Structure 1
Amino acid sequence: LPLPPPTSVPVRFPTHDFAGKVCRHWHHCLTFFLLLLVLSPRSFSAEPASDPALTALAQKAAGESSPAARAKARGEFISALRSPELSIDARLHHAWTAVLLAETDDERRAILKIAAAIPDARARMLVAAFRDYPYLRKDYASADKALAQLLAPGAATTDAKGKRIPPREIFGPNPFDTPALFDKWEHDGFSGRWADKDGLLAVEVVLYPQNNYKARVLRRGDTPLPLVGFAQPDGSLLLLGPGERISDGRNWIVSARLPADGRSAFSIQLNTYGTSLPLALDRAPLGKVFPEKRPADAVVLLDATTGLRHFRQANGSDARWLELPGGVIEIDPVAGSIFSRREFGDARIYLEFRHALNPGSLGARRGNSGVYVMNTYEVQLVDSFGEEPDEVSEGAVYHIAIPAAYAVGAPLEWQSMEIEFRAPRFDAAGNKTAGARMTVWQNGIKIHDDIEVPNPTAASAATGRKLKDKQPPQPLMLQNHGNRVQFRNIWVAPLPGS
């Protein structure tokens, strides 16, 4: 998505005592503070309804050099969220900040209780942010139930026939139950990946709900360093992190400055064995596409000439997703998944896709879709930018194989997925003699290398193990999981040597 020309903003550095102390004694420990340029208008995101005193306390909790001081500030910040003087919008905004700052389960439990008392359907996404924490399952269930009673006291959850009533009909539009309503094709101006030209360092900035931001600094050979972002009144973004103690000074961030010349970049200062080394960081998207890879013998399922004629709905009727200019299709959240009319076994599969930017949702409610090879084995598509790979993140063979490398592009970037698939083998009696196998590249980076897929994928690993593999050929399925995801340039070719 082309970005409008960048707008220069004045450089301002924090004036808090803790930041000045760290800057004066940077050889002992450090505080990160980065200022990014506003790259485009944030037309879809209103300015946060923040409380200045709470914001200052949150910034202290994010950037104090002492762990004890950070913990004290976090406790004060979370306690202040209970103030009856806060508006609902302010409470939601700062509660999401607290989600990013929290380091202990006790802090998360406190945030859950606060979230469960916010009389606004947007709080359903806030509560759901904690549902995958192993030690908070009971707390999450309790908070979810309490919030449901607060929002819709006495509401029935099933109809007269005993059929479950969809939560969206009970609670109305909100980022958890109707995430597609919050999918946007506009850039927020900050999120994305920034890197220096030599690949020494990258910064990934992720938009969180209620105009909050998190980021991580990726330094070659080192563990990622987390940052929390604060939108500033002048339109800039301040990123703060706790810093670290070091032994040799290698890859140590000292400071970052934004040039005032209107470039869409910012600079960062490293300290390498006592020598200051400024680095300029520019946008460095990981998303890459390879239209030239399509072989002459490929079966083209989607390009600028095909429309949706090579796809169908589950019942065989014509595919009902949205057709856009340039051979792009977009999920219609109410239209169901679509299937290729042609069926395949062993195959080389290529597709391009991109996620919308969702400023209200999180996790599985953000950019969720999937590519089902032989309508059986899912390669997950979900906005996992800025997250470590796991068994349900983008590129995972769902609940079976974690991507071996991080290759995820940011929302709005066109990305590619290429799959070399070998179907399971069966004998004449229909007994499986060999499992399916896959090699997968995302954005040109190999994330799975000839892995076995022992069983179909499903909502859980245990459920998948109970399912039986299908005999080839079968259709390719593009999943509708309730988000707006776009696709283009889809083809299937014979697998070499098969």
Structure 2
Amino acid sequence: MPKRFPVPAACLLAMLLVAPLAAQQAQAPTAPKPSPKETEVWEPEPTVVTPGATTDAAPSDAIVLFGGKNLDEWVNAKGGGPAGWTVADGVLTVNKPVGNIQTKRSFSNYQLHIEWRVPANITGKDQGRGNSGLFLGSTGGGDAGYELQILDSYNNRTYSNGQAGSIYKQAIPLANAMRKPGEWNVYDVIWTAPVFNGDGSVKSAARVTVLHNGVLVQNSYELKGETLYIGTPAYKAHGATPIKLQAHGDPSEPLSFRNIWVRELK
């Protein structure tokens, strides 16, 4: 007859405690499986927007700022008179003596599409080569506001936070996606305007995402303030602002623009 060994008291106690618990778990009802409908959201239904016939064409809810015919949506940024840039063959060309131009309308958050080109025979180097700017928000008639740099950066070395695709003097682009002189470049921009408290302090900073020729060059970058040629960026309170194009380059090498449209975002 085999020997029997006494069960230690601690083990016996553990067995006595675990057995009822196991029995309770075995008898507990199985929770019902969740239904897929519990995570289905039906309202609100998204607004229908008809895409353009091509990837670059304006969708149905866009405001066409330049469609190749006239400058009805633009004014001179200094004084608000006629825009005065040249329109020919569906293309808008910088007229430097006239100065910067900006939209008649003001915007807060938006999606923007714009195409631009430097001449095929362009010369110069560094910042003196096809220099212009797209001001995502114009806060003054000169160069006040938030500038996305336009420049011929194809085989043209300059300071990295001043080349095409940069937020001027603030954010270096993630890539140099420049096409050759004479070819059209495309900027697709998502702009979130800054919001200010009642005392003028910043509630939320401006943010921007930019694709240059389909390549991501700014990824939800948070601006430190308005872009400046000299000094530290800073904000000053404002509301909705126009979009501005800069007349900066050599008049013998004017930049051209086409197919400019914007969609207002909430």
Matching residue's letter, 2:56:
P
- Structure with bigger RCO (C-alpha 8 Å, 6+ apart): 2
The C-alpha deviation readout for 1:448-495, integer Å capped at 9, x for no partner, is 1111011100113xx242x43342201000000033000011111023
Q: Distance in 2 between matches of 1:363 and 1:325?
A: 30
Q: Does 1:468 align with 2:235?
A: yes
2:113 aligned to 350, 353, 357, which one?
A: 350
CA deviation after TM superposition for structure 1 residue 443, in Å? 0.5
Q: 1:14-413 counterparts in 2 under 5 A?
A: 290-292=55-57, 294-305=58-69, 307-313=70-76, 314-326=78-90, 328-375=91-138, 376-387=145-156, 390-413=160-183
Change (3 A) 1:318 1:396: same
1:441 aligned to 186, 211, 216, which one?
A: 211
Q: Distance in 1 between matches of 2:237 and 2:112?
A: 18
Secondary structure at the aligned position of 2:127 is classed as helix
Secondary structure at the aligned position of 1:491 is classed as strand
Q: Distance in 1 between matches of 2:133 and 2:260?
A: 14
Secondary structure at the aligned position of 2:257 is classed as strand
CA contact (8 A) 1:380 1:392 kept: yes
1:455 aligned to 201, 215, 225, which one?
A: 225
Change (3 A) 1:426 1:359: closer
Matching residue's letter, 1:400:
Q
Task: List alignment gaps of at least 5 residues for structure 1.
Answer: 1-288
The C-alpha deviation readout for 1:22-66, integer Å capped at 9, x for no partner, is xxxxxxxxxxxxxxxxxxxxxxxxxxxxxxxxxxxxxxxxxxxxx
CA contact (8 A) 1:290 1:416 kept: no
Q: Distance in 2 between matches of 1:476 and 1:485?
A: 17
Secondary structure at the aligned position of 1:374 is classed as strand
Change (3 A) 1:369 1:454: same
CA contact (8 A) 1:456 1:464 kept: no
CA deviation after TM superposition for structure 1 residue 369, in Å? 0.3
The C-alpha deviation readout for 1:57-78, integer Å capped at 9, x for no partner, is xxxxxxxxxxxxxxxxxxxxxx
The C-alpha deviation readout for 1:423-461, integer Å capped at 9, x for no partner, is 11112333211210000000011101111011100113x
Change (3 A) 1:310 1:464: farther
CA contact (8 A) 1:374 1:472 kept: no
Matching residue's letter, 1:477:
K
TM-score by structure 2 length? 0.72
Alignment match, 1:485: 255
Matching residue's letter, 2:262:
V
Q: How many residues align?
A: 202
Identity within the alignment, %: 31
The C-alpha deviation readout for 1:388-442, integer Å capped at 9, x for no partner, is 6810000100010001012111111011101101011112333211210000000
CA deviation after TM superposition for structure 1 residue 365, in Å? 1.4
CA contact (8 A) 2:101 2:244 kept: yes
Change (3 A) 1:349 1:469: farther
Q: Distance in 2 between matches of 1:359 and 1:379?
A: 21
CA contact (8 A) 2:125 2:156 kept: no
Task: List alignment gaps of at least 5 residues for structure 2.
Answer: 1-53, 139-144
Q: Distance in 2 between matches of 1:428 and 1:359?
A: 48
CA deviation after TM superposition for structure 1 residue 358, in Å? 4.5
CA contact (8 A) 2:202 2:235 kept: no
Change (3 A) 1:333 1:361: same
Decide which structure has the larger Cα Rg and report it. 2
Change (3 A) 1:437 1:394: same
Backbone CA RMSD of aligned residues: 1.7
Q: Distance in 2 between matches of 1:349 and 1:452?
A: 18
CA contact (8 A) 1:354 1:412 kept: yes
Matching residue's letter, 1:361:
G
Secondary structure at the aligned position of 1:308 is classed as coil
Q: Distance in 2 between matches of 1:336 and 1:481?
A: 8
Say which structure is richer in helix. Answer: 1
* Runs of 4+, deviation exceeding 6 Å: none
Alignment match, 2:11: none
CA deviation after TM superposition for structure 1 residue 290, in Å? 4.0
Q: Distance in 1 between matches of 2:237 and 2:95?
A: 28
